[in-house]
């Protein structure tokens, strides 16, 4: 997959099949667009191109009536998923206040038609673009005959009577509904980070943990609690139980951490990059009256996770 990070890097090609959007999460609805993008590219001997933005437009054009946005996927994670789904090219437009003033018609005429080149454009069922989100499917239809390109609108993806959207997935992740979020994503939600040194308390209790340092402030972190998870370690799918939260039994500093106790692993993970995939929410994080009470619960959690492995292997 070729990646371009500005307009100067990409060469004109009139046989591109393009789609434009942030694609946060690259969920099942997005995947339907990508699948169709690749289908048209193959049938026309063209090249599939995704045009996306960094940073997310909402970080640049801020609205007072909206809560700060948390992303399902960083730009690196989106690129990983785009490649996984077979996309040929990605153009990452640096999104600035100046670029935000580009009208929808100018974007199509100047950037897509003259600079990049394309023969088809695909949009989602609710896609808007350009200054003040003034561009829509009707504008594309209007320009298509004049400029000579095809337009296709992909209908909403509805699963179990839920119209899939990034917003709904964010809400599910924040409401302990990790399995439903995963169902709409089409994969297990994940957090990537480096294993850093902890205080050794888990090892002393018989539950050694990998302390994951995740430091992207824009990445959405699921709700606090204990989860059944897995990571790929040295090529092996390794299951574990994770605590996400503030460890209130021992600490009062309100530092949010992600700790993972892997069930069948004894090696050293210090300084390794790990991707933690969240499979199932087990319980709320809680403060215990004693270490013995905590150990009783941890053993129950571990037994619960061991019993779950057969459903996820």
Residue-wise pLDDT for 78-95, tens only, equals: 999 999 999 999 999 999
Taking the CB of residue 296, how many other CB atoms lie within 10 A of it? 12
Q: 309 to each of 186, 230, 235, 266, how far by Cα in Å?
A: 19, 10, 17, 18
Work out the pLDDT band at 289, boundaries 50, 70, 90: confident
- Give which of 77, 82, 80, 89 is closest to 1, Cα–Cα: 89
Q: For the residues 18-32, what does the mean pLDDT come to?
A: 97
Q: For the residues 155-169, what does the mean pLDDT come to?
A: 95
Statement: residue 202 has pLDDT above 90:
no
Query: Per-residue pLDDT tens for 210-235?
Result: 999 987 789 999 999 999 999 999 99
Q: Give SS3 for 270.
A: coil
Statement: residue 156 has pLDDT above 70:
yes
CA atoms within 13 A on the CB side of 59: 13
Q: For residue 93, what are the β-bridge partners?
A: 53
pLDDT of residue 25: 97
Q: What's the first-to-final CA gap in the chain, in angstroms? A: 30
Distance in angstroms (rounded) separating the CA atoms of residues 274 and 213: 10
Q: Tokens 């069922």, residue?
A: 125
Q: 252 to each of 190, 245, 255, 256, 287, how far by Cα in Å?
A: 27, 11, 8, 11, 11
Look at 7 and 215; give whichever has higher pLDDT: 7
Strands 273-283 and 225-233 come out as antiparallel
H helix runs in the chain, sequence order:
28-44, 57-60, 75-84, 97-100, 104-106, 137-147, 166-173, 178-185, 201-204, 291-312
pLDDT of residue 303: 97
Look at 129 and 251; give whichever has higher pLDDT: 129
Give the angle subtended at the CA of 248 by the CAs of 244 and 249, to the nearest 5°. Answer: 115
Statement: residue 189 has pLDDT above 90:
yes
Average pLDDT, the chain: 93
Query: Per-residue pLDDT tens for 248-287?
Result: 677 767 778 899 999 988 888 999 999 999 999 999 988 8
pLDDT above 70: percentage of residues in the chain:
98
Structural class in CATH, domain 188-312: mainly beta
**Would you kindly state where each structural domain of the chain is located, as residue ranges?**
2-163, 188-312
pLDDT of residue 168: 97
CATH of 2-163, one of 3.90.1640.20, 1.10.287.1080, 3.40.50.620, 3.30.1130.10: 3.40.50.620
């Amino acid at each position: 997959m070729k990646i371009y990070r500005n307009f100067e890097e990409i060469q004109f090609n009139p046989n591109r099949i393009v789609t434009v959007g942030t694609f946060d999460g690259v969920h099942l609805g997005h995947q339907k667009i990508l699948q169709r993008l690749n289908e048209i590219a193959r049938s026309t001997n063209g090249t599939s191109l995704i045009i996306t933005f960094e940073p997310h437009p909402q970080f640049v054009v801020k609205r007072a009536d909206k809560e700060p946005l948390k992303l399902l996927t960083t730009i690196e994670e989106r690129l990983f998923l785009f490649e996984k789904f077979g996309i040929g090219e990605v153009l990452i437009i640096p999104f600035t206040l100046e670029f935000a003033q580009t009208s929808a018609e100018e974007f199509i005429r100047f950037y897509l038609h003259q600079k990049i080149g394309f023969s088809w454009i695909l949009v989602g069922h609710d896609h808007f673009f350009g200054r003040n989100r003034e561009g829509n499917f009707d504008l594309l239809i209007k320009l298509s005959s004049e400029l000579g390109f095809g337009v296709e609108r992909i209908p909403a993806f509805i699963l179990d009577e839920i119209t899939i959207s990034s917003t709904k997935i964010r809400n599910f992740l924040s409401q302990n509904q990790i399995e439903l979020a995963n169902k709409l994503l089409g994969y297990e939600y994940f957090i990537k980070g480096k294993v850093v040194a902890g205080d050794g308390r888990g090892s002393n209790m018989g539950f050694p943990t990998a302390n994951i340092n995740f430091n992207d402030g824009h990445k959405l972190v699921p709700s606090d609690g204990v989860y059944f998870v897995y990571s790929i370690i040295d090529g092996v799918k390794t299951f574990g139980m994770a605590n996400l939260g503030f460890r209130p039994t021992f600490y009062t500093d309100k530092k949010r951490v992600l700790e993972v106790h892997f069930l069948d692993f004894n090696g050293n993970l210090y300084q390794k990059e790990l991707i933690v995939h969240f499979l199932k929410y087990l319980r709320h994080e809680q403060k215990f009256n004693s270490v013995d009470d905590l150990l009783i619960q941890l053993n129950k959690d571990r037994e619960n996770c061991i019993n779950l492995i057969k459903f996820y292997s």
